[in-house]
Structure 1
Amino acid sequence: MKHNADGFIERYKARLVVKGYTQTYGIYYEETFAPVAKLNTFDVKNAFLHGELTDEVYMDIPPRYNTTQTGTVCRLRKALYRLKQSPRVWFGRFTMAMKNNGFKQCNSDHTLFLKHRKGKVTTLIIYVDDMIITGNDKQEISQLQDYLAIEFEMKDLGGLKYFLEIEMARSQQGIFLSQRKYVLDLLTDTGMLDCKPVDTPIVQNHHLGEYPYQVPTNKERYQRLMGRLIYLSHTRPDIAYAVSVVSQFMHSPSEDHMNVVLRILRYLNSTHGKGLMFSKHGHLNIDGYSDADWVGSVTNRKSTSGYFTFVGGNLVTWRRKKQNVVALSSVEAEFRGMTKGISIVHNSVQHDRTKHVEVDRHFIKQKLEAKVFQFPFVKSEDQLADILTKAISSKAFHNSLDQLGINDIYAPT
């Protein structure tokens, strides 16, 4: 069943699928692949059936198919659903069609295809068999739709409103992305819809880690919740830090860890309508905020880097990641986070003390000298990336959300 954003059933689907779980790697297939994206929407009908198989694959006769012959099997000429190589075969077929139409495949995200023509751009991004087409070249978009309709049987789903559990709303102010229904479903499934809300997803100075004699909790439930929260982080940078912290203990969660997960749910209960607003600000400047928390992990003393990137005044990317090695100084942690430490870049006297960050030091120095980017001074209260590397006060937390453009269009005014 395929549902709309309001929860009602849009349509039913029925497909013939194969028992892909019986396939053995190296015998029945060599590689697998699932095209997943890192504004019109289209759905390719029976997408995997467009993939031509190069392997010799046989399938048992489907149930209730009457045949008088014994020991009969079906040889597959084209891919079917559940066949492990089907996604890769289908995506290869689709990629070839896009390139034949003059589109270039993005190197950083292979599910993204771009075409530049007469100073305009057309963009297509695909998730398995669903795709979004957008751009400022209306003629090219129309031609692409006609071309894909010839190559593949497609259904035009109209303007983008609901895609991969992400809701889109348009107004004169801009485009708003949220996962409101996803959050409400999560709270309903966990019995937390009527819980007492909190104003931050994690408390300050939590010192969460692995300690002796911790009481274990239900591992499967913990991992299921973490999977759903990680997906929610795609539109909710406000929970990115808290989710990243508790996701480090999925191998052996305790009740202390579960209590933090439940606090995140309590925070979501008061903020289920929050999302990202994309508005026109009259420029296309690229601005970034980066921070590093030196030896912040109580478990292995590794530092954590975090950054936000804005394009045209709108938040487009963010990331929080624990550094691979233990930083020997706060400056090294900052270099790895591409933030401050400018004093060392300009101060050769400290050179010998920073050989272990030589690559980072020279990279930053070269870019500064070439004026590729600049490092203006940022006050502590204006350092937006703090919410990715540490738990901060409620006041600072909500001030950061306002500056990040995280709003709630469903909140009462």
Structure 2
Amino acid sequence: MELPQGLNTHKEGQVYKLTKSLYGLKQASRQWFEKLSSYLISVNYNQSKSDHSLFTKKTATGFTALLVYVDDIVLAGNSMDEINSIKDLLHKRFRIKDLGELKYFLGLKVARSKKGIHLCQRKYALDILEETGMQGCKPSSTPFLKDISSLYKEDNYLDDPQSYRRLIGKLLYLTNTRPYLCFTINLLSQFMQFPTNSHYQVIQHVLRYIKSSPSEGLFFAADSPKHLKAFSDSDWATCPTTRRSTTGFCIFLGSSLISWKSKKQRTVSRSSTEAEYRALAATVCEIQWLRYLLQDLQTEESGVPVLYCDNKFARHIAHNQSFHKRTKHIELDRHVVREKIQEGLLHLLPVRSNEQLADIFTKFPHRVRFGAIVPKLGLIGIHRPA
């Protein structure tokens, strides 16, 4: 950094002391959020403890929620007077630009009707197809291949791995409205360091499926009941090299999918039951967080959350209070499942394996099974195929 004109010094080791954050520094975003949040709190908005970017305000006439992402703000509520009031206050303080009714936000297209809200990334998906030259490709019925053994062969490395890494990053963002891609992209992201031609062929197969339905996205029904239900599953020893299992779950508010995950477990499980129990613990923690979030949004649940699991022995461990020699090595924090069940905050119920919706987050189901799961996740397309 060069010294500004008029400042002459010959001392070494001196630094600048900033009295105000400069745009572009890594501290700038934190300073901006601190300034914005302190102002919102000063005008009687409450910062959520579950999500620090969420601010709410409840009055005698209505409820208003304000969601912040860096310098983009989304307002929602049932009182237009309060919404217009906070917009005026923000404009006087920060000179904001009102974009009107929400239609696009961070690349997500928002379509609203009396039946509900639809979120999709159609333009983002078409841009990926155009960038990779896959606009004229033949569509596929599934986003994955039957045989994945070639993924673990260490030969035919790509000459330019940067293109593979960029494409993985873009597809990861696409999973915000396409949950069924989570397991596939999660698997492919494990080969970022030394990708091969086989890995790139699998990505091309994923793009062929995206070509078949670029406007597919999540639908949130307006008449959906406010009741949490979740499906938890795991695939034992998925990875042939580390032998670690995969956790997968999906959580619904009524008929609307609001949370999901597909992630490799941190430790090796000695049995499929242990892997299922670890997946249950991760799902229970997510349910608890969502309940806190619903409370901040002044939303009353219509019943006790229900968690479905297709492993009988994992359910037995969750209900059994006795100390068992096969579970004594499991971390203590994993027994949060049993604690929530005993407190009556959760119902753990069985589900048939062919009705387990979380299968799509832990393994590659048959194309017929895949076609049956996707509509149950609340995924629909509102545009004609490209």
Common topology (TM > 0.5): yes
Residue 249 (1) aligns with residue 191 (2):
yes
Measure how far apart 1:332 and its partner are: 0.7
Within 1, Cα distance between the matches of 2:319 and 2:49?
A: 34
- Residue 356 of structure 1 is matched in structure 2 by 329
Question: How does 1:42-81 map onto structure 2 within 5 Å?
Answer: 78-81=20-23
Is the Cα–Cα contact under 8 Å of residues 224 and 256 in structure 2 kept in the other structure? no
Within 2, Cα distance between the matches of 1:135 and 1:394?
A: 41
- Residue 380 of structure 2 is matched in structure 1 by 407
- Relative distance call for 1:75 and 1:368 in structure 2 (3 A) is closer
TM-score norm. by structure 1 comes to 0.78
Question: How does 1:94-109 map onto structure 2 within 5 Å?
Answer: 94-109=36-51
- Residue 70 of structure 2 is matched in structure 1 by 128
Is the Cα–Cα contact under 8 Å of residues 165 and 179 in structure 1 kept in the other structure? yes
Measure how far apart 1:135 and its partner are: 1.9
**Higher-helix-fraction structure:** 2
Within 1, Cα distance between the matches of 2:149 and 2:259?
A: 27
- Residue 385 of structure 1 is matched in structure 2 by 358
Question: How does 1:215-364 map onto structure 2 within 5 Å?
Answer: 215-338=157-280, 339=309, 340=311, 341-347=314-320, 351-357=324-330, 359=332, 362-364=335-337
> Any idea what the Cα deviations from partners look like across 1:139-180, whole Å, max 9, x if unmatched?
322221122122111111000001111101112221110000
* Letter of the 2:65 counterpart: T
Is the Cα–Cα contact under 8 Å of residues 209 and 298 in structure 1 kept in the other structure? no
* Letter of the 1:206 counterpart: I
- Residue 91 of structure 1 is matched in structure 2 by 33
- Relative distance call for 1:264 and 1:230 in structure 2 (3 A) is same
Within 1, Cα distance between the matches of 2:180 and 2:346?
A: 27
> Any idea what the Cα deviations from partners look like across 1:232-277, whole Å, max 9, x if unmatched?
1111112111111101111111111111111111111111010011
- Residue 102 of structure 2 is matched in structure 1 by 160
Is the Cα–Cα contact under 8 Å of residues 56 and 65 in structure 2 kept in the other structure? yes
Measure how far apart 1:77 and its partner are: 5.6
**Higher-strand-fraction structure:** 1
Within 2, Cα distance between the matches of 1:104 and 1:385?
A: 35
- The two structures, once aligned, show a CA RMSD in angstroms of 2.5
- Relative distance call for 1:269 and 1:359 in structure 2 (3 A) is same
Measure how far apart 1:104 and its partner are: 2.2
Deviates more, 1:302-311 or 1:112-121: 112-121
Deviates more, 1:212-221 or 1:271-280: 212-221
> Tell me, which stretches of 5 or more residues in structure 1 are unaligned?
1-21, 23-57, 62-68
- Relative distance call for 1:150 and 1:235 in structure 2 (3 A) is same
TM-score norm. by structure 2 comes to 0.83
- Relative distance call for 1:217 and 1:202 in structure 2 (3 A) is farther
- Relative distance call for 1:360 and 1:76 in structure 2 (3 A) is closer
Within 1, Cα distance between the matches of 2:150 and 2:358?
A: 20
- Relative distance call for 1:312 and 1:212 in structure 2 (3 A) is closer
Matched positions, count: 348
- Relative distance call for 1:242 and 1:80 in structure 2 (3 A) is same
Within 2, Cα distance between the matches of 1:117 and 1:302?
A: 50
Measure how far apart 1:116 and its partner are: 2.7
Residue 370 (1) aligns with residue 343 (2):
yes
Within 1, Cα distance between the matches of 2:237 and 2:176?
A: 26
SS at structure 1 position matched to 2:68: strand
- Ranked by relative contact order (alpha carbons within 8 Å, sequence separation 6 or more), the top structure is 2
